Structure 1
């Protein structure tokens, strides 16, 4: 039972070789370049979505922060499309892997921190020691602020992993319960099937919300340092 429950989270292989890189590259096929194709409804929707993301993310940033526009737009489109594709039957969701989410969170977080130390050194260092702190609490506060700074990428990765994994496990458990109840009680199976449909709709919303939250937090880290 445990093997079947977590089998969907195992990295797929082909001829003994992991194909996770091909899966990660697949969502990019869904976003055709408008410069190569004749404009249609799909490319128009894509351009409208990108403009909406830029308006939401880049309004609070200065000139230096807006240089990250392409990075943040690519990030939210990649995470959102990957999460949505992972809801398809017999598919693999790369964002359920903590290693991959850490691979996205740590470089982005480190980039914002380096940017802060380069352009706003005094204000960045001031975050480690609030003004008016009693001398006896200075060492403790510096340690606490340093730990909280290094926890940020972990929080980004664990939040995304936990939400996507929990949703997939719930869908798997309720789907298995529905199949088991079909031969026992049709009425109960119908109720669980309705719950499964509602949960699937909720997971579509969660997939997009988690992509937005991940990118928004990176944007806020950038705003604090740029």
Structure 2
């Protein structure tokens, strides 16, 4: 049976049971939990320092009212980062390549920022739909454009994460297939292609980390506009 390159993005099942729930809960098992000792071990110390630094950088441009979102945004960053990196391992499944999952993250959080803005300062929230000093004939057009741009934000969040990870996985699989084909035919070209594959894998690791950070960063910017 010939398999398609896109079969790697199909949700895995076992005995008819989807395994996405296990893939989503696996990252939390990999991280060490805080202990009751006075002194933490090295791994826990590095983990706490990394999370503290990220939270500090994330909350630096935000108002004090948005700081209560720190736990949610930091947890989302850790989850997305771990899912993206685990998906680069052989024989694994990347849940964040599914647009439905990414939209499930993006839509509720974006909607929460909009509701907070309409509840706390409705005048400023509605004021974003019409820039100050707009000519009268352009008011209806600008309101429509700004409304569309507002509702397209969660779609852009989900599509950006899905497209970047899907493109990287497909490119890695294409080049790795080319390496296996070129080994018996042109060994030197195969070595060069394998070197390119190694560099592309390093790039994909960076992309996995950056896309998780960008997803949370854009959510924090949407929150900043409404707090």
Same fold per TM (> 0.5)?
Answer: yes
Q: Which deviates more, 27-36 or 207-216?
A: 27-36
- For each residue in 1:90-139, what CA deviation from the matched residue of structure 2 results, as whole angstroms up to 9, or x when unmatched? 10000000000000000110011111111121111111111111111111
1:208 aligns with 2:209: yes
CA distance in 2, matches of 1:36, 1:111: 35
Gaps of 5+ in 1: none
Question: What is the match of residue 19 of structure 2?
Answer: 19
- Residue 3 of structure 1: how far off its partner (Å): 3.3
CA distance in 1, matches of 2:114, 2:17: 36
- What's the TM-score once normalised by structure 1's chain length? 0.97
Question: What is the match of residue 71 of structure 2?
Answer: 70
Question: What is the match of residue 94 of structure 1?
Answer: 95
Question: What is the match of residue 30 of structure 1?
Answer: 30
- SS of residue matched to 2:91: coil
Q: Which deviates more, 147-156 or 61-70?
A: 61-70
- Residue 31 of structure 1: how far off its partner (Å): 1.7
- Residue 40 of structure 1: how far off its partner (Å): 1.2
Question: What is the match of residue 226 of structure 2?
Answer: 225
Question: What is the match of residue 182 of structure 2?
Answer: 181
- Residue 35 of structure 1: how far off its partner (Å): 3.5
CA distance in 1, matches of 2:3, 2:125: 47
CA distance in 2, matches of 1:35, 1:114: 38
**Counterparts of residues 29-178 of structure 1 (less than 5 Å):** 29-35=29-35, 39-178=40-179
- What's the TM-score once normalised by structure 2's chain length? 0.96
CA distance in 2, matches of 1:65, 1:116: 11
How many residue pairs end up in the alignment? 226
- Residue 42 of structure 1: how far off its partner (Å): 1.3
Moved over 6 A (4+): none
- Residue 32 of structure 1: how far off its partner (Å): 2.1
CA distance in 1, matches of 2:211, 2:62: 22
Gaps of 5+ in 2: none
- For each residue in 1:185-212, what CA deviation from the matched residue of structure 2 results, as whole angstroms up to 9, or x when unmatched? 1000000000000000111111100001
